Amino acid sequence: MTTKTTKDKGPEAAAKAAAETLDAMMAAGKQNAEAAVKASSEAATEAFDTAASLGEAQMKKSAEGYKAATKFGKDNIASMNAVASAMTIGFEAYGEKVASYVKTAADENFELAGKFMSAKTPEEFAALQIEAISKSVDRVVSHSVEMNKIVADMWMQSTAPVKERYDAAMQAFTKSFAA
């Protein structure tokens, strides 16, 4: 838009031309402002939607992680309960075997004491001593084998749950590097 300055149009024409120019500038400014507001609003909406979807995905991952950690903790507690149970059963069996040994030894020793009192010759007494030693060694060996078996069984049963938890932990640990 070009304006011609002529003397015959006068100040009213100049004012009108200035007003038209100002109206055009205002309309262009308004149009630019509306476009900027619209673009800004669209960008803000897109940013909010992106942040919301990222937040939602992170919440899902956090919930899954919490569930996995809770399950792992529960499994650890169950494992420790299994260990305690195996140890208790093993200690009870071991205690019963010790009590059985003491009772057997006391009965045999009481019987041998009666035989020692009734021995009439040194040869008879020596034979009873050999019998006592032989029974004692046989009894100790027999009960030791049984007690060692109880301890070995208890060890295997009490370490199996711990090994399972260790294996699960290692699998989860190495899986996180594979992902």
- Same-domain status, 97 and 158: yes
Residues 6+ apart with CB under 8 A from 89: 154, 157
Average pLDDT in the chain = 86
Task: Report pTM.
Answer: 0.58
Residue 6 lies in a domain: no
**pLDDT tens profile 28-43:** 888 888 888 888 888 8
CB 150 within 8 A of CB 94: yes
Same domain for 106 and 166, yes or no, is: yes
Q: Are residues 76 and 50 in the same domain?
A: no
The reply to whether 56 falls in a domain is yes
Instruction: For residue 41, give its domain range.
Output: 11-60
Instruction: Write down the pLDDT at residue 4.
Output: 53
The 10 Å Cβ neighbour count of residue 108 is 16
Q: Tell which residue, 99, 139, 133, 100, has the closest CA to residue 116.
A: 133
Is the pLDDT assigned to residue 8 strictly greater than 60? no
Q: With respect to residue 40, please indicate whether it lies within any of the assigned structural domains.
A: yes
The pair of structure tokens assigned to 82 is 């299994």
What is the tens place of the pLDDT at every residue in 54-89?
Answer: 888 888 888 888 898 899 889 999 999 999 999 999
**47 with 116, same domain?**
no
92 and 171: one domain?
Answer: yes
> pLDDT by residue (tens digit) across 80-102?
999 999 999 999 999 999 999 99
Residue among 96, 84, 72 nearest 158 (CA): 84
Within-domain flag for 1: no
Q: Are residues 90 and 148 in the same domain?
A: yes
Contact assessment for residue 90 and residue 158, using Cβ atoms and an 8 Å cutoff:
yes
pLDDT value of position 95: 94
**Residue 3 in domain:** no
Please give the tally of structural domains in the chain: 2
